[in-house]
Amino acid sequence: LRTVIQKGLLAGELPVVTTDPNQLQEQARKAMPKAGFDYILGGAGEAATMDANRLAFRQWKIIPRVLKPTTPRDLSVTLFGQKYDVPILMAPIGVQSLFHQDKEIGVAQACAELRVPFTLSTVSQSTFEEVAAAAPGSPKWFQLYWPSDEELTASLLKRAKDNGYTALVVTLDTWTLAWRPTDLDTANVPFLVGVGDANGFSDPVFRRKFAEMSDGGTPEDNLVQAAMYWIGNTFPGVSRSWEDLKILKKHWDGPIILKGILSVEDAILAAEHGMDGIVVSNHGGRQIDGAIGTLDVLPEIVDAVGSKLTVMMDSGIRTGADILKALALGAKAVFVGRPVVYGLGINGKEGAEAVLAGLLADLDLTMGFTGVQNIGELNQSILRKIQHAG
Ligand code: FNR
């Protein structure tokens, strides 16, 4: 905040990326190539789930306190025995070269500047190794789209581990692509296939298996065929079973977090199967139209399993107040998706960093106005649910 005010009010230098959460999407629409922007914006069906996510946040109101000491403020949290300076993480977002040439490397560096853990998507356009080299020593997690092939799964997990990714986020709501009109109407899906994938194409197991099935061809020689083979492996088209989780436990000895949980029953099953955490998420409304808003289901999931595993959430976080509400309702941390890649699309690494810095400054201020000094003090007593609010 201080930087924005010093540069703007005092020196007449306005921010490149808007500080207004209601303007960010429109600024990105104007700044970005249409295919990239449409891919970020896209929700499933009529985007009712995206609306539900926002409405859920709007219905909770903060009750501020005054005349309480609120400095210094500490935004740190502990997840899986590891202390992190801030309670937000970068959500795994694939194919970032569609948005800006700085792609995942740029976003990882932006995250590193602010000590925000970066989650690398399986379908990224920068490899495990490139991201690790670009942001050494910064906190990094890996998100798995779970290949049908166990050997390939093991190879990806090994590379993640070898390169310093400390936690595994397994996305379970995207075993196949959803009905997303923005992609289908603009032929964005074939475009994506044509782009190919960095982690897959650089993987030794993937390369060997692709050579076997294509009579010695390399992914680079047969881009479309290799992309189809990779996508066929990473989005196997059928959901796995709870029993299969032991395959992942066999190949990963760090924390395992299931992403895409919306039901209390599934949260309980995750705990029963020895998972370390869950992300209450509807994939930013991109998978199922008409799904429940994540904040609407978060409190009951926290009630059911909050003492057994680490509950985190995402989908629809746009402001510091949103982060505060999710944490007060029991999330241990939140992931932020679209706002950061809109920032990336507008102004590369700096744009992503501006969005993240803005969110953290906004959260810090909102904590101060709410009368809390650290994240551990947040609980539901600072909130009231107003059902009729818009
Ligand atoms: C995603 N998301 C996602 N999730 C995941 O597990 N792996 C991935 O590769 C991607 N890719 C991806 C691309 C784009 C363009 C978007 C917008 C989202 C989902 C993401 O991790 C997260 O769940 C949502 O983005 C959170 O919702 P908000 O913050 O975008 O509303």
Q: Is residue 183 part of a domain?
A: yes
Within a domain: 281: yes
pLDDT in tens, 157-168: 999 999 999 999
- According to the model, what pLDDT value does residue 192 have? 60
Percentages helix, strand, coil for the chain (3-state, rounded to 5) are: 50, 10, 40
Which residue, judged by its Cα, is nearest atom 3 of ligand 1? 93
Residue from 89, 192, 286 whose mutation best tests the ligand 1 pocket (most atoms within 8 A of CB)? 286
pLDDT digits (tens, 9 = 90+) for 304-341: 999 999 999 999 999 999 999 999 999 999 999 999 99
Does 359 have pLDDT greater than 70?
A: yes
Mean pLDDT of the chain: 94
> How far apart, in whole angstroms, are the C-alpha atoms of residue 159 and residue 198?
13
Give the max Cα distance, the chain. Answer: 73
What pLDDT does residue 231 have? 86
For residue 360, is it within any domain?
A: yes
341 assigned to some structural domain = yes
Q: Are 47 and 285 in contact (CB under 8 A)?
A: yes
Q: Is 6 within the bounds of a domain?
A: no
289 in Cβ contact with 47 (< 8 Å): yes
CA of 113 to the centre of ligand 1 (A): 22
Q: Give me the pLDDT at residue 28, please.
A: 98
CB atoms within 10 A of CB 235: 18
CA distance 70 to 379: 16
Residue 283: pLDDT above 70?
yes
Which residue in 117, 267, 240 sits closest to 173, CA to CA? Answer: 240
| The total number of structural domains that make up the chain | 1
The residue from 100, 251, 273, 283 that is catalytic is: 283
Distance CA 264, CA 297 (A): 8
174 CA distance to ligand 1 middle (Å): 10
Query: What pLDDT does residue 346 have?
Result: 98
Which has the minimum average pLDDT: 32-36, 71-75, 138-142, 294-298?
A: 32-36
- Is ligand 1 within 6 A of the CB of residue 143? yes
| Ligand 1 within 6 A of CB of 21 | no
Strand partners, 78: 83
How far apart, in whole angstroms, are the C-alpha atoms of residue 152 and residue 230?
A: 10
pLDDT (0 to 100) of residue 6: 82
Range of the domain at 154: 24-385
390 belongs to a structural domain: no
Average pLDDT over residues 55-71: 96
Q: What's the pLDDT at 196?
A: 65
Percent above pLDDT 70 for the chain: 97
Query: 60 CB less than 6 Å from ligand 1?
Result: no
The whole-number average pLDDT for the span 177-194 is: 75
Residue to mutate (ligand 1; options 41, 53, 93, 295; most atoms within 8 A of CB): 93
Closest ligand 1 atom to the C-alpha of 53?
A: 31
Residue 92 Cα to ligand 1 midpoint, Å, equals: 6
For residue 147, what is the domain's CATH number? Answer: 3.20.20.70
For tokens 């706002």, what's the residue?
339
Cβ–Cβ < 8 Å for 68, 218 = no
CB of 317 closer than 6 A to ligand 1? yes
Per the DSSP assignment, residues forming a β-bridge with 74 are 374
pLDDT above 90: residue 184: no
- Residue 273 annotated as catalytic: no
- Residue 4 maps to a domain: no
> Residue 176 domain-assigned?
yes
Q: How far is the CA of 371 from the centre of ligand 1 (A)?
A: 32
Expressed in angstroms and rounded, the spacing between residue 337 Cα and the centre of ligand 1 is 6
Return the minimum-mean-pLDDT range out of 6-10, 49-53, 218-222, 373-377.
6-10
Reported ipTM: 0.99
Question: Could you tell me the pLDDT band of residue 21, with boundaries at 50, 70 and 90?
Answer: very high
Distance CA 33, CA 306 (A): 42
The pLDDT-based confidence of 228 (bands split at 50, 70, 90) is confident
Confidence of residue 189 (pLDDT cuts 50, 70, 90): low
Q: What is the mean pLDDT of residues 233-246?
A: 92
For 149, the token pair is 């092939």
